[in-house]
Amino acid sequence: MNTLLTVSEITKEIKQILEDGFTNVSIIGEISGFRAHVSGHWYFSLKDSNAIISCTMWKSMNNHVFFTPQDGMKVIVSGKITVYPPRGNYQVDVRSMRPSGAGELQAAFELLKQKLAAEGLFDQQYKKPIKAVSKKIGIVTAIDGAAFQDMKSVAERRFPLVELVVCPSRVQGTGAAENIAANIKELNTYKDIDVIILARGGGSIEDLWAFNEEIVARAIFKSRIPVVTGVGHEIDFTIADFVADLRAPTPSAAMELLTPDKNDLISMITELRMNNVYLLDKLLKSKKEKVNNALNSYGFRTPAGILRRRAQEVDNLLYKIMQCADRNILGKNNKLSFLIKSLESHDMQRILKKGFVLVSQDSKLIIRSVNIRKEIPASLKFYDGEVSVKISE
């Protein structure tokens, strides 16, 4: 009792006693002052009518919690008691957290629903229109789930031309909400997707809780592309359903709402074709009757006679033009034949063949004897060849 201890020393003693004595505790209480730090850690308090205790849940642990805690929610946490020396506070180092019952999740559902409704996320004015026929549909669901297989079968049966772009997603448990929100954002990077289906099969409120998370609701609201939900069964309603542009009772129903029945399209096209054939035939008969009436009228008979006479005159003129052209061509051909014969008569080879010889010195023709230079070789070109000679006299 007389030992004098420093604050650090007494805090250390208390810390050791508490941490050794409460290594594994489970506590039920109501969440108060919940705060998610930017580091990913959670800080909050648990309270009942008579007491309150601080709690810390590190990011590595809260990653395994399938829901987002909210103030007022009653939960059961498990962990150990620790002491934070700088403040001399004891707290619970939480290892796991679960709702104390389905009623707590329902209460959290109602609280978030009221909050988002007050912000206008459910308002009809923000609902985006959906095309009557969707050529390209984005799907956010579990790729190995029955919901996807059902939607795929419906699409193949009703409208095989539709293109499905699937973003495989976790739809239950830890990280599912974040994964769903990220996939909605990813599909919004595509420019040609007409609509997004957000779907999963039925389950308990815990199974469907990812679709009740605020992060999913806000991702749907921010989506540029219309979002249709098909979550659970017809009786299941999630926060995502209220924010979505259209809710379908099941995943299969969602695909049916967005794809026309190919048989209906074929029937419609057949009916349109037959109707168009009938209308076109009726129109042609009417026009034909009007043309025949016009052709048989006096006003058309008179111009027809004038046209026939003019056509005959044109034929006569064409005949005269052709005769004149023939004579002109014949004269030109005769003149061309004369010129060809004249050129042939002056052909050098023909002249040489007659016995004439071409004399040249230094590549220049000698046409006069006086022009011959002595002692310079001369070239004599005959018809059959060329020889070189030397002139001395």
Both 74 and 144 in one domain: the answer is no
Quote the pLDDT of residue 155: 93
Alpha-carbon span 184 to 166, nearest angstrom: 11
Alpha-carbon span 42 to 25, nearest angstrom: 18
Residue 193: phi and psi, rounded to 5, are -80, 130
Amino acid symbol at 139: I
373 pLDDT exceeds 90? no
Mean pLDDT of 274-282: 85
Quote the pLDDT of residue 393: 67
Per-residue confidence band for 366, with pLDDT thresholds at 50, 70 and 90: confident
The CATH number of whichever domain residue 50 belongs to comes to 2.40.50.140
Mean pLDDT of 79-90: 87
Both 61 and 158 in one domain: the answer is no
Quote the pLDDT of residue 120: 94
Q: Considering the domain boundaries, does residue 237 fall inside one? A: yes
CA distances from 326 to 312, 317, 329, 333, 364 (A): 21, 14, 5, 10, 48
- Tally Cβ neighbours within 10 Å of residue 223: 21
The CATH number of whichever domain residue 253 belongs to comes to 3.40.50.10550
**Stronger pLDDT, 355 or 256, i.e. the higher one:** 256
Alpha-carbon span 334 to 341, nearest angstrom: 11
**Stronger pLDDT, 294 or 6, i.e. the higher one:** 6
Token pair of 203, please? 């389950």
- Domain boundary residue among 80, 100, 120? 100
Q: Considering the domain boundaries, does residue 48 fall inside one? A: yes
Quote the pLDDT of residue 270: 81
Q: Considering the domain boundaries, does residue 314 fall inside one? A: no
Q: Considering the domain boundaries, does residue 112 fall inside one? A: no
CA distances from 77 to 70, 98, 204, 213, 292 (A): 14, 7, 21, 20, 95
Token pair of 292, please? 């025949």
Per-residue confidence band for 298, with pLDDT thresholds at 50, 70 and 90: low
The radius of gyration of the chain from alpha carbons, rounded to an integer in Å, stands at 51
**Beta-bridge partners for 247:** 229
305 pLDDT exceeds 90? no
Quote the pLDDT of residue 135: 92
Q: Which residues, including other chains, have CB under 8 Å from residue 252's CB and lie 6 or more apart?
A: 150, 151, 154, 230
What is the tens place of the pLDDT at every residue in 54-76?
999 998 888 888 788 888 888 89
Token pair of 136, please? 């390209």
The DSSP 8-state label assigned to residue 385 in this structure reads E
Both 89 and 150 in one domain: the answer is no
Q: Considering the domain boundaries, does residue 319 fall inside one? A: no
Q: Which residues, including other chains, have CB under 8 Å from residue 249's CB and lie 6 or more apart?
A: 230, 233, 234
Token pair of 116, please? 């988002």
Residue 215: closest CA among 236, 240, 242, 250: 240
Quote the pLDDT of residue 163: 94
Both 140 and 256 in one domain: the answer is yes
Q: Which residues, including other chains, have CB under 8 Å from residue 295's CB and lie 6 or more apart?
A: none
Q: Considering the domain boundaries, does residue 323 fall inside one? A: no
Please say whether the beta carbons of 205 and 178 come within 8 A. no
Quote the pLDDT of residue 187: 96
384 lies in which domain range?
A: 348-390
The pLDDT > 70 percentage for the chain reads 97
Q: HSE of 21 in the Cβ direction (CA atoms, 13 Å)?
A: 8
Length in residues, the chain: 393
3-state helix, strand, coil in the chain (%, to 5): 45, 25, 30
Q: Considering the domain boundaries, does residue 235 fall inside one? A: yes
Q: Any alpha helices (H) in the chain, and if so which ranges? A: 7-21, 59-62, 102-119, 146-158, 176-187, 214-222, 239-243, 251-258, 262-295, 298-345, 348-353
